[in-house]
Structure formats: C-alpha cells, structure tokens
Amino acid sequence: MRLENNGLNLLKIHLAVALFGMAGIFGKTIALPSTAIVFGRVFFAALALGLFRFLSKKNSVPLPLKTGIYLGFLGALLAVHWIAFFKSIQLSTVAIGLITFSTFPVFTALFEPLLTRENFRLSDIGFALLTFLGILILIPLSNISSKLFEGIMWGIFSGFTFAFLSIGNRSLTRKYDSILISLFECAAATVVLLPFAFGYYSQASLHDLLLMILLGVVFTALSHSLFIAGLKGVKAASASIIASLEPVYGTLLAIIIVKEIPSLRTVLGGVIILTTAILVSKNTLNKR
C-alpha cells in the first residue's frame, strides 16, 4: 500500500511539473501582451486558490502587517517574473523561455549567501561559468539585435527574478502553508497589474479569456496544489530533480501543440544549463 501511495505522489509531482512546463505554451496561443496574460493568470489563480482554501475548511491564519507588506512585495516580484517569462517566449520560443528561466538555481546559489549570511561555496562559481557557457551557445552572436537575443535576455531576467522570489519565500514556508502564500502573492500581483493590464481586456476575444481561465485555474492553481500534495510522500531532493524536467516537458509539449522544433544549438545549450541546474539543486540540498 505504501509503494502505491509513493507511486501516486510521484505521479502528482510529474503531472504538476508537466503542467508548469505547458504553461509557457500560453505565451504563444494567447494574442495579448505578456502583462495582460500574467494579469489573467494571477487573477484566476487567486480565485481558484481562495476557493480551494475555503472548501478545504482551513483555519484563517492572522498575518502581521509587516508580513502582509512583505507578501505584497513578493507578489509584485512574481508579476515581474512572469511578465519576463512570457515576454521571452513571445520573442523567441517556448524551449528557450523555459531553458533560460532554468538558470534560477544558479542565481539562487550565488545570491542567497549574500542575503541570508550563509557560507558561500566556491563550487557555485564553477556552476555559474557552466551556465554562462550554455547561454553563450544559445545566443546568436552574429545578430545580437534579433528578437531571439532579446527573448534570451528576458528569459535570463525571469530566472534572475525567480531566484530572489525563491529566497524571499524560503522564510515564509517555515511558518505558513504554500497554498496560503501563493494565494496572497497572486492576489497582490493582481492588484499591482490591474492599472497596466485591465485596458487590454476590451480587445480580448472569448477564446483568449477562456485560455487565461485555463492558465490560471489548471496550469497555476491546480499544478501548484498537486506539487504540494505530492511532496507529502516524495523527498525534497527527488522533487527538486523532477522539477528540473520542466523545460523538457514544456519543449516536448511545444513540439506537439505549437509545432516548435528546437534547433541543435538550443538543445546543446539547454542540456548544459539543465544539467547545471540539477547539479546545483542536488549540491544545495546535500549541504542543508
């Protein structure tokens, strides 16, 4: 029975990561700017997470004013991260957006010691250099004014911002459950983006609105809930390695759904970056 439960939890983690990866495809299928896409994502995700929490009958947790302000800041950072992520995909490809976003473990390893006063590891410099090599392979050096180059830069920025978001959330997860954190951050991101994105919805088609509901409810709220549920029976180290498969799942689904076949250059650079991300994740978990 225990083996069956472990298998079910592993399936939940893999399904959640596949849904995370597939979320990038919406950047190609929704005909709206990245700011409007992210607004729809966080708005519908916040509604779904709020309903989930209400139906699960969890007791409300009082938040100190200082924590509420901190969550608001992280929500704004989440909005910036997702805008950069979708901008990257719109300018380049789903594969490049996901691969460049996957640089975040390296940024986390480099900046977390500075912010948390933990010991700095020299091995992280080596990982950073490997990541830089993977990025160099991706970059079209013959034409750095191209949309592809711009998309790569936005993707790296999305990884950079997500690293700080991860560091910021680390202290909160010790005291509050992840669903509550996600709910507050998505709600804060909705408020931040409202003045910038609401006007685009007069141009949105019913098709786009339905896709954004799907993105927010299934590919954000549900995927996050599945991932958290799977962690109950899967070690953090295993979950971290599975999460590194997000670009793999996303790229495979992009080939099937939007017919984007990655170039050999993208595959080679991606392999280096993803391998480095897995090594950094394992190294970090082993040190804790």
Using the structure block, give the residue that is written with the tokens 């225990």.
2
Predicted TM-score of the model (pTM): 0.88
* Phi and psi at residue 57, to the nearest 5°: 55, 40
Query: Alpha carbon 82 to chain centroid distance?
Result: 7
Name 113's Cβ contacts closer than 8 Å, sequence gap at least 6: 119, 120, 121
DSSP character string of 145-175 = TSHHHHHHHHHHHHHHHHHHHHHHHHHHHTT
Q: From CA 209, how far away is CA 207, in angstroms rounded?
A: 6
Q: From CA 74, how far away is CA 163, in angstroms rounded?
A: 12
| Short-list 204, 216, 169, 286, CA closest to 32 | 204
pLDDT recorded at residue 89: 96
* Domain ranges for the chain: 2-287
What does each of the 288 residues of the chain score in pLDDT, given as a tens digit?
Answer: 444 466 787 888 889 889 998 999 999 999 899 999 999 999 999 999 999 888 877 666 677 889 889 999 999 999 999 999 999 999 999 999 999 998 888 888 788 777 767 666 777 778 788 888 888 888 876 666 689 899 999 999 999 999 888 888 877 877 888 888 889 999 999 999 999 988 888 778 899 999 999 999 999 999 988 887 777 766 665 666 777 788 888 999 999 999 999 888 889 988 988 888 777 766 655 555
